[in-house]
């Protein structure tokens, strides 16, 4: 057995993009200790949260019990939480990055769901790209990483993106957070414009029994792309 197959799995669950490609800065450092898999969800437009969890569960069913590091970013954190509730025996450590158990800004998410269909139109998509570019630049994301971000987003399957937005609107895991039995690390950015990340992380920390919190006051929602931030520095590498 070679050294790579002897490593335990670091499962990286993506956010709304669903591609796993936005973990690119984190993969090599994590690979020093883990066998890293940035998950890419199937290209389908009809699913619920249990379907996404089951897709991952089936894809990792041969991992050793209690061995996996599971990371969930933004919406991916909801999937990671549900996975930890259903299959706690598979997970050694859970990490949530700028995530939430329930999206509290109801007006924003309802509006996003209604407008998401317009993103197939070139003009609307150009407006979104302009806003995202400005936001990433304001967060201190380097020009090359902004380019790679745009490249990764080009792989997003639009019907699935719209459905994931609907799940953000509809899912509420708050009542079950106290059942999370695995050690949990919470990463939260102070200048996140999409999620009240620090407030959400502090709330989860207050109800998840074995959790710790790391706050980054100057970072934005794209913490995974922030210069100097590496998950490996906090997750046992």
pLDDT digit string, tens, across residues 179-222: 999 999 999 999 999 999 999 999 999 999 999 999 999 999 99
Helix (H, G, I), strand (E, B) or coil at 100: coil
Rounded Cα gap, residues 82 and 46, in angstroms: 18
Instruction: Tokens 């937005």: give the residue.
Output: 165
- pLDDT-based confidence at residue 4 (cuts at 50, 70, 90): low
- What number of other Cβ atoms are within 10 A of residue 120's Cβ? 11
173 in Cβ contact with 82 (< 8 Å) = yes
Q: Using pLDDT thresholds of 50, 70 and 90, give the confidence band for residue 6.
A: confident
pLDDT at residue 2 tops 60: no
**What is residue 1's predicted lDDT score, i.e. its pLDDT?**
42
Nearest alpha-carbon partner for 63 in 6, 110, 102 = 6
In sign, the C-alpha dihedral spanning 236, 230, 179, 41 is: negative
Q: Which of 207, 29, 210 is nearest to 102 (CA)?
A: 207
List of domains in the chain: 3-233 (3.40.50.1820)
Under 8 Å between Cβ of 38 and 13:
no
Q: What is the pLDDT of residues 83-101, one digit of tens each?
A: 999 999 999 999 999 999 9
Q: Distance between CA 93 and CA 86 in Å, rounded?
A: 15
This prediction's pTM:
0.94
- For the beta carbon of residue 132, count every other beta carbon within 10 angstroms: 15
pLDDT of residue 5: 61
pLDDT digits (tens, 9 = 90+) for 133-163: 999 999 999 999 999 999 999 999 999 999 9
Measured in whole angstroms, the distance separating CA 221 from the mean position of its chain's CA atoms is 11
Q: Residue 122 has what pLDDT?
A: 80
Mean local confidence (pLDDT), 5-16 = 93
45-71 pLDDT tens trace: 999 999 999 999 999 999 999 999 999
User: In sequence order, which residues have a C-beta less than 8 Å from that of residue 219 and are 6 or more positions away?
Assistant: 139, 140, 189, 190, 191, 192, 226, 229
For residues 107 and 88, give the distance between their C-alpha atoms in angstroms, rounded to a whole number.
33
pLDDT in tens, 98-116: 999 999 999 999 999 999 8
Distance CA 7, CA 47 (A): 32
């Amino acid at each position: 057995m070679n050294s790579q197959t002897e490593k335990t799995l670091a499962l990286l669950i993506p956010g709304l993009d669903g591609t796993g490609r936005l973990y690119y800065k984190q993969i090599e450092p994590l690979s020093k200790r883990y066998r890293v898999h940035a998950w890419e969800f199937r290209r389908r437009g009809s699913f619920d949260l249990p379907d996404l969890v089951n897709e991952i569960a089936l894809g990792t069913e041969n991992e050793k019990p209690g061995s996996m590091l599971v990371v969930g970013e933004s919406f991916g954190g909801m999937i990671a939480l549900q996975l930890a509730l259903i299959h706690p025996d598979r997970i050694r450590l859970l990490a949530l990055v700028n995530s939430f158990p329930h999206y509290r800004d109801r007006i924003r998410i309802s509006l996003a769901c209604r407008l998401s269909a317009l993103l197939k139109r070139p003009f609307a998509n150009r407006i979104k790209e302009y806003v995202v570019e400005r936001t990433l630049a304001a967060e201190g994301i380097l020009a090359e990483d902004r380019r790679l971000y745009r490249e990764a987003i080009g792989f997003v399957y639009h019907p699935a993106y719209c459905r994931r937005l609907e799940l953000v609107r509809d899912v509420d895991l708050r009542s079950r957070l106290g059942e999370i039995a695995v050690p949990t690390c919470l990463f939260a950015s102070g200048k996140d414009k999409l999620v009240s990340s620090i407030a959400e992380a502090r709330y989860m920390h207050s109800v998840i029994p074995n959790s710790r919190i790391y706050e980054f006051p100057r970072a934005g929602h794209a913490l995974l792309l922030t210069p100097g931030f590496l998950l490996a520095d906090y997750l046992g590498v």
